[in-house]
């Protein structure tokens, strides 16, 4: 029986993100700032994360559409043996 125990790409990404978040939290909490400055920095960071999270679904959808279009164009080119005509 072949027993391979490794990380999948998704697990590796999640592990990386959790580690980065933990490191950032420790850095913020141990930085030589006052409590007020630390809270302000955390609020700004939280707002940036929320802003990016709101934009993420649209960005993923747009990137997916572009990748699909590029894949279709590449397929047409390889089937025709010449560059496909751009309709844009």
Per-residue pLDDT reduced to its tens digit, 32-82: 878 788 888 889 988 998 998 899 889 999 999 999 999 999 999 999 886
In this prediction the pTM is 0.43
**Stretch 82-87: mean pLDDT:** 58
70 vs 3, more confident: 70
Whole-number pLDDT of residue 26: 85
Position 10 pLDDT exceeds 90: no
Show the tokens assigned to 33. 């700032």
């Amino acid at each position: 029986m072949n027993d391979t125990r490794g990380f999948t790409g998704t697990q590796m990404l999640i592990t990386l993100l959790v580690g980065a978040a933990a490191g950032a939290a420790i850095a913020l909490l141990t930085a030589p700032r006052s409590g007020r400055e630390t809270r302000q920095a955390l609020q700004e960071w939280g707002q940036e994360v929320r802003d990016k999270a709101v934009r993420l679904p649209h960005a993923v959808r747009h990137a997916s559409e572009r990748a699909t279009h590029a894949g279709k164009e590449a397929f047409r080119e390889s089937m025709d043996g010449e560059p496909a005509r751009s309709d844009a």
